[in-house]
């Protein structure tokens, strides 16, 4: 699939155009990029089937952009993009990846200091050349250096969502090969970690040669690092690497256990084995030379007198002790989820109508969906004011009556994703909040505040009796922006007092709360909700990422509010 590469080119074109200060056009390319990113079908297939006309039917794609997609599919290039790159020869993607640096600032940095890439930028910031520049002060310089440090930390790691979808495709192709008997993902991907270094796949087969030939010639492979009968390693065009290992059938469970990791879990488990006079490695569990278990993971853990922990827990954070005592939590599951309360629609910056979002929720088997449009402070997201929220209320009531007549069971709730302003107040009047089924509040501005002030800001919002849910509570953006500074223990104490629910935002770049924070929230007895923050109906399927995050934080069904049926949920939100 070339959807992602095309999306990235469009984002870059948008950034170049923003730099040139062209009006409107950047937005058109951003919209097209978003469509491509969330499209389930292969863009090439759509073009092959229906030509440019079919491309134009996609949301946000007009004739001009459709022709550029065609050009890319045919020639692998977009001339317009090449021209833009030539005109300003800087690595725009790299520079604008630094939090706080947009295309316009990048242009000033290039013109005044000749900064072309991250290396130039870091040098200039360290030499204090940036602070004296027009439009930049000393905090900007400090923020730039912090931003660069953060990028370095997450370099070479990929978002779970992008890797998961691509790997599922690879697994589908491999499964069609009749020579393969057993197959599984392993590594951090099986543990559903929020970012992934590389992909690990295990198979059993009687014909490794054939399997490896097939593997290294999969579509999308751009480099073969190594090819052998037990291990091959390739790079995919999206930039990540995949390791495929062939293991023996009798060792499949041992290998799966070993290569699922984490390393820390394995080291601890090996010690448990050693204490019992056993030896554990990727081939099996051994007493002397005799193999006592290895065919399945379960039999290995069972032999060690433990239950087998779900992969999401294998981080050596207490799961081994819990497995030994047989008191693992019963983790929340995807099938427990009864609705999604953080969804945008075309009233604000979303792509789809309320009805389209509700139909998608029905398709997912939900009992309810909450429409939570942005509110007025957030102009770029086309936030609604009090009177527009009132109009939306009427529309939702009408749709609920219509849906009821059609005997369907979904209930549409009206929420709103309000903004917590700098002083902790909410950008919508209480009188209007009161008419909603529930109100969410989130921080969408001034992220760099002193820790105590930021904590007070959030606390004030939680104390507003109409605010029930805090969206993406720590504000992080994976690979881009760290959490803002807050005293999380204090937040938890107030959340408990005020019965405020903390969100586990499942949007791929957020996954906020983090796994550690989920665990702390659960331990503090504060309830959570898993929401997708969808801006487009297809994004609602990312619920599974939020569920995985909840599981990694040891959350059970009872900790998660949207596992409750509608009546109970409403009671909680009252």
> In this complex, which beta carbon is closest to ligand DGT, that of residue 60 or of residue 197?
197
Q: What does the radius of gyration of the chain's CA atoms come to, in whole angstroms?
A: 25
Using CB distances below 5 to 8 A depending on partner kind, what does residue 329 bind out of ligand DGT, Ca ion, none?
A: none
Residue 319 touching ligand DGT (CB under 6 A) = no
Q: Phi, psi at residue 103, to the nearest 5°?
A: -60, -35
In whole angstroms, give the CA distance from residue 108 to residue 482.
25
Other C-beta atoms lying within 10 Å of the C-beta of residue 474: 21
CB of 214 to ligand DGT, least distance (A): 22
* Interface with ligand DGT (CB under 6 A), residue from 147, 261, 350, 546: 261
**Residues 187-206, interacting with ligand DGT (CB under 6 A):** 187-188, 193, 196-198, 200
Instruction: Spell out the long-range contacts of 398-406 with Cβ–Cβ below 8 A and sequence spacing 24 or more.
Output: 399/354, 399/355, 399/358, 403/358
> In this complex, which beta carbon is closest to ligand DGT, that of residue 9 or of residue 254?
254
How far is it between the farthest Cα atoms of the chain? 77
Residue whose beta carbon is closest to ligand DGT:
261
Residue 83 touching ligand DGT (CB under 6 A) = no
CB of 269 to ligand DGT, least distance (A): 9
In whole angstroms, give the CA distance from residue 454 to residue 421.
11
> In this complex, which beta carbon is closest to Ca ion, that of residue 243 or of residue 351?
243
Count of positions (residues) in the chain? 574
CB of 471 to ligand DGT, least distance (A): 28
Residue 259 touching ligand DGT (CB under 6 A) = yes
7 CB-near residues (< 8 Å, 6+ apart): 32, 33, 34, 36, 37
Other C-beta atoms lying within 10 Å of the C-beta of residue 229: 11
> In this complex, which beta carbon is closest to ligand DGT, that of residue 262 or of residue 490?
262
Residue 263 touching ligand DGT (CB under 6 A) = yes
In whole angstroms, give the CA distance from residue 450 to residue 463.
20
CB of 563 to ligand DGT, least distance (A): 29
CB of 542 to Ca ion, least distance (A): 21
**Residues 279-298, interacting with ligand DGT (CB under 6 A):** none
Residue 267 touching ligand DGT (CB under 6 A) = yes
Residue 266 touching ligand DGT (CB under 6 A) = yes
E strands, 180-302, where? 180-186, 195-196, 199-205, 221-227, 231-236, 241-246, 279-281, 284-287, 290-293
Residue whose beta carbon is closest to Ca ion:
187
> In this complex, which beta carbon is closest to ligand DGT, that of residue 105 or of residue 245?
245
Using CB distances below 5 to 8 A depending on partner kind, what does residue 259 bind out of Ca ion, ligand DGT, none?
A: ligand DGT
Size of the site for ligand DGT (CB under 6 A): 14
Other C-beta atoms lying within 10 Å of the C-beta of residue 203: 24
In whole angstroms, give the CA distance from residue 397 to residue 381.
24
CB of 251 to Ca ion, least distance (A): 18
In whole angstroms, give the CA distance from residue 441 to residue 439.
7
Stretch that binds ligand DGT, among 262-270, 301-309, 377-385, 461-469 (CB under 6 A): 262-270
CA angle 246, 252, 258 (to 5 degrees): 90
292 CB-near residues (< 8 Å, 6+ apart): 278, 284, 285, 286, 303
> In this complex, which beta carbon is closest to ligand DGT, that of residue 258 or of residue 507?
258
Question: Which position has the token pair 């912090």?
Answer: 146
> In this complex, which beta carbon is closest to Ca ion, that of residue 55 or of residue 478?
478
Please name every residue paired with 235 in a beta bridge, in sequence order, or none if there are none: 223, 241
Q: 470 near 457, Cβ under 8 Å?
A: no
Question: Which position has the token pair 């007493």?
Answer: 287
Q: Which residues bind Ca ion (CB under 5 A)?
A: 187-188, 198, 200, 243
> In this complex, which beta carbon is closest to ligand DGT, that of residue 196 or of residue 470?
196
Helices and strands, number each (H, E), in the chain: 24, 17
Q: Phi, psi at residue 552, to the nearest 5°?
A: -60, -25
Using CB distances below 5 to 8 A depending on partner kind, what does residue 123 bind out of ligand DGT, Ca ion, none?
A: none
> In this complex, which beta carbon is closest to Ca ion, that of residue 188 or of residue 563?
188
> In this complex, which beta carbon is closest to Ca ion, that of residue 162 or of residue 198?
198
Using CB distances below 5 to 8 A depending on partner kind, what does residue 262 bind out of Ca ion, ligand DGT, none?
A: ligand DGT
The binding site for ligand DGT (CB under 6 A) comprises 187-188, 193, 196-198, 200, 258-259, 261-263, 266-267
């Amino acid at each position: 699939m070339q959807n992602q590469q095309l999306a990235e080119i469009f984002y870059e074109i948008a950034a170049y155009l923003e730099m040139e200060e062209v009006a409107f056009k950047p937005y058109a390319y951003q919209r097209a990029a978003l469509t491509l990113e969330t499209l389930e079908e292969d863009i090439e297939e759509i073009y092959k089937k229906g030509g440019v006309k079919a491309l134009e039917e996609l949301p946000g794609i007009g004739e001009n952009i459709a022709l550029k997609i065609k050009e890319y599919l045919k020639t692998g290039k977009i001339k317009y993009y090449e021209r833009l790159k030539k005109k300003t020869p800087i690595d725009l993607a790299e520079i604008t990846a630094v939090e706080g640096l947009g295309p316009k600032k990048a242009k000033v940095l290039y013109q005044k200091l000749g900064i072309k890439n991250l290396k130039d930028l870091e040098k200039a910031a360290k030499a204090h050349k940036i602070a004296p520049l027009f439009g930049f002060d000393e905090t900007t310089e400090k923020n730039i250096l912090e931003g660069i440090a953060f990028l370095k930390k997450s370099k070479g790691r990929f978002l779970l969502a992008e890797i998961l979808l691509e790997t599922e495709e690879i697994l589908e192709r491999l499964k069609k090969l009749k020579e393969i008997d057993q197959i599984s993902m392993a590594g951090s991907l099986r543990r559903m970690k929020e970012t992934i270094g590389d992909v690990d796949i295990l198979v059993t087969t009687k014909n490794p040669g054939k399997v490896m030939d097939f593997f290294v010639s999969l579509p999308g492979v751009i480099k073969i690092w190594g090819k052998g009968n037990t291990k091959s390693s390739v790079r995919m065009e999206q930039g990540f690497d995949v390791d495929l290992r062939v293991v023996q059938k009798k060792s499949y469970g041992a290998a799966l256990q070993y290569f699922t990791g984490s390393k820390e879990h394995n080291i601890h488990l090996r010690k448990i084995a050693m204490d019992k006079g056993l030896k554990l490695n990727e081939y099996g569990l051994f007493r002397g030379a005799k193999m006592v278990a290895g065919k399945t993971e379960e039999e290995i853990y069972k032999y060690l007198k433990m239950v087998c922990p779900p992969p999401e827990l294998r981080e050596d954070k207490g799961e081994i002790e819990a497995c030994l005592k047989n008191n693992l939590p019963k983790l929340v599951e995807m099938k427990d989820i009864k609705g999604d309360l953080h969804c945008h629609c075309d009233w604000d910056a979303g792509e789809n109508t309320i009805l389209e979002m509700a139909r998608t929720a029905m398709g997912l088997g939900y009992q309810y969906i909450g429409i939570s449009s942005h509110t007025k402070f957030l102009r770029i997201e086309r936030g609604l004011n009090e009177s527009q929220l009132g109009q939306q209320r009427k529309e939702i009531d009408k749709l609920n009556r219509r849906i009821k007549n059609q005997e369907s069971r979904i209930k549409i709730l009206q929420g709103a994703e309000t903004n917590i302003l700098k002083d902790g107040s909410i950008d919508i009047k209480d009188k209007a909040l009161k008419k909603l089924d529930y109100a969410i509040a989130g921080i969408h501005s001034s992220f760099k505040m002193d820790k105590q002030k930021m904590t007070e800001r959030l606390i004030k919002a939680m104390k507003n009796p109409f605010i029930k849910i805090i969206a993406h509570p720590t504000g992080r953006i994976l690979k881009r922006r760290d959490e803002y500074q807050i005293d999380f223990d204090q937040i938890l104490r107030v959340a408990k007092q005020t019965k405020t629910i903390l969100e586990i935002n499942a949007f791929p770049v957020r996954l906020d709360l983090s796994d550690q924070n989920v665990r702390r929230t659960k331990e503090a007895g504060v309830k959570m909700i898993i929401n997708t923050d969808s801006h487009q109906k297809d994004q609602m399927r990312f619920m599974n990422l939020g569920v995985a995050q909840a599981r990694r934080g040891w959350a059970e069904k009872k900790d998660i509010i949207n596992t409750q049926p509608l009546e109970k949920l409403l009671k909680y939100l009252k």
